[in-house]
Structure 1
Amino acid sequence: MNNPLGINALRSSAQVFVRSCSKPCGGLSLLNNSPARCFSFLPNLQSPQLTPSFPPSPLTSFRKCRPVYQWRPSGLRTLKLLNTVIIHYVDLPPNYKDEEGLQFLRRDLDAKDVIAIFGPGMTTLAANKLLRILHGRRVAGTLDDPTVQINTRSFSRGEIKLALDYLRKNIPVDEIANAGLRAEDELAALEGEKVEEDAEEFKPGKRMPRLYKPFEKTEEAKKPTVYGESVFEKIRARNMARIEEEMRQKEEEERQKEEELAKLTPGELAKIDKAKTRQVSPRMQEYIKKATSDLEAPPEMKSWERILPSAVAVLLGIGFLVAYAEYYRPPKRAERLWPDIPPAAATVLGLAMLNLVVFAFWRTPPLWGFLNRYFLIVPATPKPFSLFGAMFSHQALFNHLLPNLTMLWFFGTALHDDVGRGNFLSTYLGTGALSALVSMSVYVLRGHLHVSMCGASGALYGIGAAYFWLHRFEDFRIFGLPPEPMNGVPGLAFLGLGVGINIIGLFRLSVHNIDVIAHLSGAAFGVLAGHFMEKKLKAKKELMQKKAQIEGAIPSPVPVDQGLVQKVAPEKTA
């Protein structure tokens, strides 16, 4: 008789089943399988066995105050047989171990979710390990098995209870049925029933090996009993039928793949093999090493030590930008770099070119270390200059850089025409840096040091909010809508719409890769900048009117007494 678990374990598990039948099962709601990405663009990380098509993105560890790069095959999740979350006992993989557990979500929880479940006292690594172990026990039916409790003895009872509450609320598992199936297999082994031998590796035409294998019933066991058919037998039969169908489909897919490969020429097969085994060059490995941090965790620093240097740098920068806007004078046409292009278009095109240049730098491996230091905001190891450099940094072309450049063209040229180059550039750079400072400070104070941020979204929300604030009571039409004679939509409505969308985004799990805090703070600083520019432009207009009146360029708006003119005129003539 094959008894790999041991008599004591079998007896204890069988006893556990009796106790577990009186315990309630977990909830039946399903958690959204999209954990937080933490506001940084994180492209698919490539493997050292594959040539990377773009630079890696920083994760949770650091070297020399620089984010780390970790590489993995971009298609790894699609190649694993265990891609989905396992919740049935019969689906247990053959290599299941209690100390490793089972994956409870498609991705591990991040620090934000861990804090929400356990509070700030548990690390992300430990929390995910505990959740994996407990989820594995729920599926394997060993939640109360004393022989496996040694693997969770480092966790308190309160932490285990919080983890079980979270799993039962979000990942539906029939713990009673799983415990019953496990106990049934163990009792069958104790009674000496024959266990089916099927331990070969999976091959086309073979069944998948399993840790707990179905067994052939004896003739005595097959006879009907006075108690009727067991509920567990019905569950087992249904699950086994499903597994057989899945195995048949996999065998058919493997057969089709073999037939397709057989039709390929030797040259095509060689290309496929070469693509699979292509190695990263030694030079590329050196670039990756230089741009990779060797810190296993963020350095121990107080919150104010991370925020204060960046805040001082931003405030000094704002002072310089205010002075620049006050004393800037537009150059003459002959002195301009592009005299044939309108000033607004020239300014916006210059900013767009800077963004494109930095985007090209991200595709240049020797510059990765420099870009990580000064063009990427990392709250764990902040660099003051990065709050200005990050607004020119984008790592995705179609879903980040191009949308931002489009908005820059529409809002940038419009605001530039209203306020001039000095005020426009000061608003763009100032709101971008201030929104980045607010976003970084929020994540530092909340302990989310694993995030990284880049992009011009805060600056774009700043100039967009400033423009709509200057035209808050004017009507706008989009593609001629709404048609005449209906009034257009006021600028204040567009401003409220942009703010409202981002406020909703704060409570949605699907936008964790969007820096909503930078958007909202950029819009707030944009409204503030628009208010001061409005007062400045109004004062300038009044000054010009007074100057024109003094010089006699326009008639005085004060009414003149005609009789007084007739009376005084002869005296002046005399």
Structure 2
Amino acid sequence: MRRLTMPIILSPNPLSSSRIGLRAVIRASQTYPVAALAARAISTSRPFARQSCFQYSAWGVARPCKASYIRNTQSLNPHSQLRTLFTFRAITHYIDIPNWYQDAEGLPFRREDLTQKEANRIFPSNLPAPQANLLLKIVHGRRVAGTLDDPILARNTKQFRIIDQKRALEYLREHIPVDEILMAGLRAEDELKALEEQEDAAQGVEKFQETSPEGSPTSSQEKTVEIPTGRLPRKPGSDSPYGESNFDKIRAANIAKREAEEARLEEERKLREEELAKENIGTLQTQQEQPRQISEFRKRHMERATSDLEAPPEMPAWQRLFPSIAMAGLVILGSIGFAVMYQAPPSSRRLWPDIPPAAATCLTLIATNVAVWALWKFPPAWAFMNKYMLLVAATPRPLQILGAMFSHQSFGHLFANMFFLWFFGTRVHDEIGRGNFLALYFSSGALGFAASLTHLVLWRGLVCTTLGASGGVYGLITAFFWMHKFDEFKIFGYPPDPLSGPQGLGFIGLILGVHLIPLFLRRTNNIDMASHFGGMLAGALGIDLARQYMDYKARARAERLNMGLLTTTVEEKDISLAAPVEESSSSPSKR
């Protein structure tokens, strides 16, 4: 078992194609200072943390094809961290309910209201965003106030459908934990105390009426019908005959704490208003209140690139999946055929004879990805890019399987994928050749997008889109470690000798663990896990097929060489045997 010692992860050969390729590019680009500077920057850059690979966006329902400014949607988790002047925490305890609380208005459950796209993901009836936020606030307030089962308050939510109320309650229970039983118990305690006070007050009124000469209540004592508020009047202190309890002390402390927090929030609100008046927009909320103005040029091309569909077309899942999956199958079969038929050209016919084939192949793929990323910054190209360079779950097209492999909308996403493509791609290329390398790369990308589309259509929903080269890149990474699954690696020389480093299988397990942990924890993110898993599966299977095919070709070549040597030996023996016969036949004539 051999040991590989390398900074980060290096192949056994000291001068890999990546280094030789970069040196050749630098020499060839001496006449172009900018290109030379970029090449040197790439050659000396350090790897950094893994970026998000496949990115989702939620334009798929109303606008399945959107322009290049598509950004990741915010998570629906109300506790997601936002960079604001202060952090927001939803009220989750009965004793923290503010005095201004009304059931018809509810309590805020997150810092900012839901957008329409987020509301559509919660409510199947596509409830308008303002109504959805109001319903969620009312339901959250009832959970904290302990009035979920109060029939008197139903009149405040009679305009909402029962299914929407159930979905709102399910969403809040999933994201904002509240002990509803405890809150209802505290509410019942206050209601009992209020009833006792009302009975005492009623007895006092009866005694007053008996002694009053008028014998009838004044106009101020007449009863009036009020809208149910869902809260009980609170009085500071305690009127219990047993004195002030520990619970009353805790309540008084919480009331004082809440009043101080409300005063602080009010002061910060005034400061934000002053900043806004001075046009000093610095927080996330004020930036969202005043969005950046879009030029007429970008707006015109954005409208051209936006679909007119108001909802995804109605069709069965197999009809939406079959054309794209069939396209992925054709790409895989075509890649296998290319690997079988490919013949490496001689050095005289290569475009860059001074650059190793592995470096030339990876540089071509990187240049293609960079060119497509640049097209996303060019508004006239948005219509074409949305149609063929972005995999849309609502309206998939077969050619999107190929186009999305080269498409990135953010530079961080592009740089991370291209770095690992160069780092691992050159090493895999050196070991299996160009034909097998390209077949492995395209097959991993195609299978990754087929798995991603299946996951989006059947489980995650039609509101998502995906793009990026991560499926192919993860296929190459898995193929490299699968080829060296029993070889030992060292990272920056650690662990030191005589300790052994982790094997290739260990790195594959680490990659799987990084992907599986968020799934078990049920954390929402914008990473296309299905595409990564599909690419890794294609990489492991594809490298085995490539190695078997290479072994088969090596055996066939050896057999041909052996047959050639055997034929040459037989011919030489025939010639040596025929030579004495000719001499014997010619000797009588000499005599």
Q: Same fold (TM over 0.5)?
A: yes
Among 149, 153, 158, the alignment partner of 2:154 is 149
Q: Which residue of 2 aligns with 1:98?
A: 104
Amino acid at match of 1:134: V
**Which of the numbers 358, 372, 381 marks the counterpart of 1:367?**
381
**Does structure 2 conserve the Cα–Cα contact (< 8 Å) formed by 1:141 and 1:180?**
no
| CA distance in structure 2 between the partners assigned to 1:381 and 1:97 by the alignment | 42
Distance 1:354 1:187 in 2: 79
Match 1:170 to one of 177, 198, 206: 177
CA distance in 1, matches of 2:334, 2:358: 22
| Counterpart check, 1:477 vs 2:484 | no
Amino acid at match of 2:185: I
Which deviations, in whole Å up to 9, do the C-alpha atoms of 1:172-229 show, x marking residues without a partner? 463433566689899999979xxxxxxxxxxxxxxxxx99798777xxxx89652323
Q: Is the 8 A contact 1:140 1:182 kept in 2?
A: no
Q: Write the deviation string for residues 298-330 of structure 1: whole angstroms up to 9, x where unpaired.
A: 221101111111012122222222222222222
Partner of 2:303: 289
- The more displaced of 162-171 and 433-442 is 162-171
Aligned 8 A contact 2:136 2:168 in 1 = no
Relative to 1, partners in 2 of residues 1:571 and 1:313: Cα closer, same or farther, differing over 3 Å? closer
Q: Look up the match of 1:138.
A: 143
User: Deviations for 1:110-132, whole angstroms, at most 9, x for unmatched residues?
Assistant: 999999xx9xx956859977655
TM-aligned CA distance change 1:378 to 1:458, over 3 Å:
same
Gaps of 5+ in 2: 1-51, 75-79, 203-228, 582-591
Correspondences of 1:118-133 after superposition (within 5 Å): 132-133=137-138
- Equivalent residues in 2 for 1:259-278, closer than 5 Å: none
Q: Tell me the amino acid that sits aligned with residue 519 of structure 1.
A: H
Deviation at 1:245, TM superposition (A): 2.2
Q: Residues 256, 146 of structure 1: CA spacing in aligned structure 2 closer, same or farther, 3 A cutoff?
A: closer
Q: Equivalent residue for 2:343? A: 329
Matches within 5 A, 1:473-512: 473-510=486-523, 512=525
Q: Which residue of 1 is the match for residue 42 of structure 2?
A: none
Segments of structure 1 that go 5 or more residues without pairing to the other structure are 1-37, 43-56, 193-209, 263-268
Aligned positions of 1:423-462 closer than 5 A: 423-446=436-459, 448-462=461-475
| Matching residue of 1:356 | 370
Whole-angstrom distance in 2 between the partners of 1:157 and 1:250? 32
What's 1:266 paired with?
Answer: none
Give the partner amino acid of 2:375.
Answer: F
Counterpart CA distance in 2 for 1:299 and 1:489 is 50
Q: Which residue of 1 aligns with 2:59?
A: 59
Task: Say which one has the larger Rg.
Answer: 2
Query: Which of 252, 269, 276 is the equivalent residue of 1:237?
Result: 252
Specify whether residues 543 and 277 from structure 1 end up closer, same or farther in structure 2 by C-alpha distance, changes over 3 A only: closer
> Which of 415, 434, 448 is 1:421 aligned to?
434
Q: CA deviation at 1:282?
A: 2.7
Work out whether residues 145 and 230 of structure 2, in 8 Å CA contact, stay in contact via their aligned partners in 1.
Answer: no
SS at match of 2:493: coil
Residue identity in the other structure for 2:151:
P
1:505 CA drift (Å): 3.8
Aligned partners of 2:392 and 2:464 also within 8 Å: yes
Distance 1:379 1:186, change over 3 A: farther
Contact 1:393 1:454 in 2 (8 A): yes
Distance change >3 Å, CA 478–CA 88, structure 1 → 2: closer
* Distance in 1 separating the partners of 2:193 and 2:253: 16
Alpha-carbon distance in 2 for matches of 1:244, 1:156 = 36
Cα displacement (A) at 1:534: 0.8
SS, match of residue 526 in structure 1: helix
Q: Deviations over 1:479-522 (max 9, x none)?
A: 33344455554333333333343333431333632222222221
CA distance 1:445–1:271, change in 2 (3 Å): closer
Q: Does 1:390 align with 2:395?
A: no
Report the RMSD for the aligned CA atoms in angstroms: 5.1
Separation in 2 of the partners of 1:446 and 1:250? 41
Q: Is the 8 A contact 1:290 1:369 kept in 2?
A: yes
How far 1:397 sits from its partner (Å)?
A: 2.5
Deviations 1:55-75 (A, max 9, x none): xx4435234x52588899999
The number of equivalent residue pairs is 482
C-alpha deviation, 1:530, in angstroms: 0.9
| 1:428, distance to aligned residue in structure 2 (A) | 0.4
**Other-structure match for 2:10:** none
Q: Is 2:328 the counterpart of 1:301? A: no
Preserved CA contact (<8 Å) 2:140 2:172: no
Q: Structure 2: how far apart are the matches of 1:60 and 1:304?
A: 18
TM-score w.r.t. length of structure 2: 0.66
In 2, distance between residues paired with 1:555 and 1:435?
51
* 2:533 aligns with one of 500, 512, 520: 520
Structure 1 pair 189–229 and aligned structure 2 pair: CA distance change class (3 A): same
Q: 1:143, 1:227 → 2: CA distance? A: 31
Whether the aligned pair in 2 keeps the contact of 1:58 and 1:67 (CA below 8 Å) is: no
Structure 1 CA distance for aligned equivalents of residues 490 and 331 of structure 2 = 37
CA distance 1:375–1:181, change in 2 (3 Å): farther
Alpha-carbon separation, structure 2, partners of 1:250 and 1:102: 14
Cα distance change of structure 1 residues 187 and 98 upon mapping to structure 2, 3 Å threshold: farther
Displacement, 1:258? 9.8
> 1:410 is matched with which residue: 405, 415, 423?
423
Q: Find the aligned partners of 2:70 and 2:420 in 1 and give their Cα distance.
A: 33
SS in 2 for 1:66: coil
Give me the identity figure in percent. 35
Partners of 1:110 and 1:79 in 2: CA distance:
22
Partner Cα distance (2:425, 2:546) in 1: 15
Contact 2:489 2:501 (C-alpha < 8 Å) held by counterparts: yes
C-alpha distance 417-497 of structure 1, shift in aligned 2 (>3 A)? same
- CA deviation map 1:19-77 (0-9, x unaligned): xxxxxxxxxxxxxxxxxxx99536xxxxxxxxxxxxxx4435234x5258889999996
User: What CA distance in whole angstroms lies between the structure 1 residues aligned with 2:489 and 2:263?
Assistant: 61
